[in-house]
Amino acid sequence: MKLTILGCYAATPRTLTNPTSQVLEIRNRMFLIDCAEGTQVQLRKNKLKFSKINHIFISHLHGDHFYGLIGLLSTFMLFNRQTDLHVYGPKGIKEIILLQLRLSESFTGYNLYFHELTSKESEVIFEDEKVIVKTIPLKHRVYTNGFLFQEKPKERKLNVEAVEHYNIDTVYYRKIKYGGDMTLEDGTVIPNAELTFDPEPVKTYAYCSDTMYDESIVPLIQNADVLYHEATFLESEADKAAKTMHSTAKEAATIAKLAKVKQLLLGHYSTRYSSIELFRAEAETVFPNVLLADDGAVFDFD
Amino acid sequence: MKLTILGCYAATPRTLTNPTSQVLEIRNRMFLIDCAEGTQVQLRKNKLKFSKINHIFISHLHGDHFYGLIGLLSTFMLFNRQTDLHVYGPKGIKEIILLQLRLSESFTGYNLYFHELTSKESEVIFEDEKVIVKTIPLKHRVYTNGFLFQEKPKERKLNVEAVEHYNIDTVYYRKIKYGGDMTLEDGTVIPNAELTFDPEPVKTYAYCSDTMYDESIVPLIQNADVLYHEATFLESEADKAAKTMHSTAKEAATIAKLAKVKQLLLGHYSTRYSSIELFRAEAETVFPNVLLADDGAVFDFD
């Protein structure tokens, strides 16, 4: 599980900082999460292949989270993309995109599917054989969802010495990796535990931006390997956080502690502060394992 | 008259090149012409004051000319702008912007006026006491206008020696600068020509992007000081230019020659070419005075 931060600052794009967008690579899938203005250039700078993105998740319809979407979709057209593309986001996103394509008399050569979200309860919005994605309803000024990315259980690891010892044919390996026992020709049953090792543990990534402090998300993100939680302000600006329905670093850390996540990743910083290290320092007073998102940062969580 | 090129490449924003946007400063007015994705960052990089922009001209609704507009308007909101803002562009631009503001539940604290264009004839779209702006109808795949920025005649320059010689009171200076003769107390009439020098000549800037080769624009841009004309392709790709309704460098130069402009400024280059100098070389076979736009370039035409 690898996360690349394309942008992690609040509000407006600036010369050296970018608003929110990140790429999660998990089990060979590449998910784009939010897509602020400039995201396509950030993808290029970080040498991420546009063509590997098939699913884009938009948390909410504030510009610093989606103004780059129309440009990215247009670039896919120019690149003559053929593969299906899925966009998950609040109701209204389809109208915004299609209006602009219609007025520019453009047609996508690829199928563009919109999955418009309206539910205020968590729901599964993507699932294949390896990964499942659920919404995390958040509390912000407009309808907003976070996203929970969960690996499905991996196949068990073959104990090569054991299978060779029992002279098991390779055609049975797949069955064994999926937990099956093995019956030998003489009728002896070899239990799976003797033929395999436990698989690598599955990973979970919870993305929560933008939101006010909200303990109701804790059950959804319980024990996540990584929680990205917005921290737009420090406690010294707690009044501004409350007014704008954002969180402070301390509040983000409190959620991390309550949810017993392994690591907290902070982002969506207001640019008013002299150093993002201030966010880490404040969060660490509550929760020990704090990482800082920064534009271009790559986190390998394997 | 000063022109800053924020972006001058066709199609998609890349790591080192930006799609179309430029700032024309003329008689203390600052006009933004086209506004591709990334324009607000380019404004910052070029240290141009956002707050001085009161008029934005959008040539057409292809993404590489206007996807940055919604972000810039949003940033004006964040900056708590109060001054009126005027946007001139094809019909549909108002719906695109207002839909996004509505869905993000945002309200501009400033008055945002849309001047939607539909005419296929040249028309005056802006006029004040110093500058007049007319459309230049262009031929492209969608409804497109270029823009002609013309200075109005300037006031004459006072001949300080002469007015002092005749002991003329300063209250008459304004009348004299506007061309009036002066009657002295003894009844003698001093003709204006004796009291003033000719004013600086007025400047004209013609912006033509995007368009196929079209001689019908020649009368509109006749004798312009500077003609910016798109040159997406070289003659070696003349078939592509025709198919996509763009121009070659040679075609741009032919228009410049027919219109007897003083200087031709090329831009909107396809990124397929190894050097933009190839565009200059091709254009110079037809017209001698060729300048090359490039991102961040500043041209002082005074």
Q: Is A60 annotated as a binding residue?
A: yes
Interface contact A12-B105, CB threshold 8 A: no
Q: Find the mean pLDDT for residues B169-180.
A: 93
**pLDDT bracket for residue B97 (50, 70, 90):** very high
Residue A216: the pLDDT is: 98
Structure tokens at A89: 């986001």
- The structure tokens 């254009």 sit at B283
Residue from the list A12, A61, A103 with its beta carbon closest to the beta carbon of B40: A12
Residue from the list A11, A41, A105 with its beta carbon closest to the beta carbon of B38: A41
**pLDDT bracket for residue B200 (50, 70, 90):** confident
Distance from CA of A269 to the nearest CA of B (A): 15
* The Cα angle at residue B226 between residues B222 and B227, in degrees rounded to 5: 70
Q: Is B165 annotated as a binding residue?
A: no
CA distance B49 to B108: 19
pLDDT at B37 over 90: yes
Integer CA distances (angstroms), B139 to B146, B265, B283, in order: 10, 19, 21
Tell me the domains of chain A and their CATH numbers: 2-154+200-300 (3.60.15.10), 157-197 (no CATH)
Count the neighbouring beta carbons within 10 Å of the beta carbon of residue B117.
22
Q: Is A268 annotated as a binding residue?
A: yes
Distance from CA of B201 to the nearest CA of A (A): 38
Q: Which of A11-15, A92-96, A279-283, B228-232 has the lowest mean pLDDT?
A: A11-15
User: Is the separation of the CB atoms in B183 and B172 below 8 Å?
Assistant: no
**pLDDT bracket for residue B94 (50, 70, 90):** very high
Residue from the list B45, B71, B90 with its beta carbon closest to the beta carbon of A37: B71
Q: Find the mean pLDDT for residues A214-235.
A: 98
Residue A200: the pLDDT is: 86
Distance from CA of A58 to the nearest CA of B (A): 13
Reported ipTM: the value is 0.90
pLDDT at B279 over 90: yes
SS3 A301: coil
SS3 A75: helix
Residue A238: the pLDDT is: 98
Residues above pLDDT 70, as percent of chain B: 100
When the pLDDT of each residue in chain A is averaged and rounded to a whole number, the result is: 96
Contacts of B34 in chain A (CB under 8 A): none
Residue B109: the pLDDT is: 93
Distance from CA of A48 to the nearest CA of B (A): 13
* The Cα angle at residue B211 between residues B206 and B213, in degrees rounded to 5: 95
Residue A61: the pLDDT is: 97
User: Is the separation of the CB atoms in A86 and A55 below 8 Å?
Assistant: yes
Closest by CA to B146, choosing from B34, B30, B62, B29, is B34
Contacts of A75 in chain B (CB under 8 A): 11-12
Closest-CA residue of B relative to A61 is: B104
Q: Is B169 annotated as a binding residue?
A: no
pLDDT at B191 over 90: yes
pLDDT at B302 over 90: no
Interface contact A63-B45, CB threshold 8 A: no
Please classify residue A167 by burial: count the beta carbons closer than 10 Å to its beta carbon, then call 0-12 exposed, 13-18 middle and 19+ buried: exposed
Given the residues A34, A64, A169, A300, select the one marked as catalytic: A64
Residue A302: the pLDDT is: 85
Residue from the list A12, A68, A92 with its beta carbon closest to the beta carbon of B78: A12
Q: Find the mean pLDDT for residues A49-54.
A: 96
Strand A263-267 to A226-230 pairing: parallel
Interface contact B14-A41, CB threshold 8 A: yes
Closest-CA residue of A relative to B105 is: A142
**pLDDT bracket for residue B136 (50, 70, 90):** very high
CA distance A194 to A161: 10
Tell me the per-residue pLDDT of A114-158, one tens digit each, with 9 for 90 and over: 999 999 999 999 999 999 999 999 999 999 999 999 999 988 999
Closest by CA to A262, choosing from A211, A221, A213, is A221
**Interface residue of A41, A107, A244 to substitute, partner B, most B CBs within 10 Å:** A41
Residue A130: the pLDDT is: 95
Q: What is the dihedral of CA A230, A235, A237, A239, to 10 degrees?
A: 90
Given the residues B34, B64, B181, B239, select the one marked as catalytic: B64
Closest by CA to B9, choosing from B221, B225, B285, B279, is B279
SS3 B30: strand
Please classify residue B40 by burial: count the beta carbons closer than 10 Å to its beta carbon, then call 0-12 exposed, 13-18 middle and 19+ buried: buried
Residue from the list B67, B68, B104 with its beta carbon closest to the beta carbon of A62: B104
Residues above pLDDT 90, as percent of chain B: 97
Q: Is B246 annotated as a binding residue?
A: no
Distance from CA of B84 to the nearest CA of A (A): 20
Residue B53: the pLDDT is: 98
Contacts of B51 in chain A (CB under 8 A): none
**pLDDT bracket for residue B81 (50, 70, 90):** very high
Interface contact B78-A41, CB threshold 8 A: no
Q: Is A64 annotated as a binding residue?
A: yes
Interface contact A104-B14, CB threshold 8 A: no
Closest-CA residue of A relative to B90 is: A103
- Would residue B64 show up in a list of annotated catalytic residues for this protein? yes
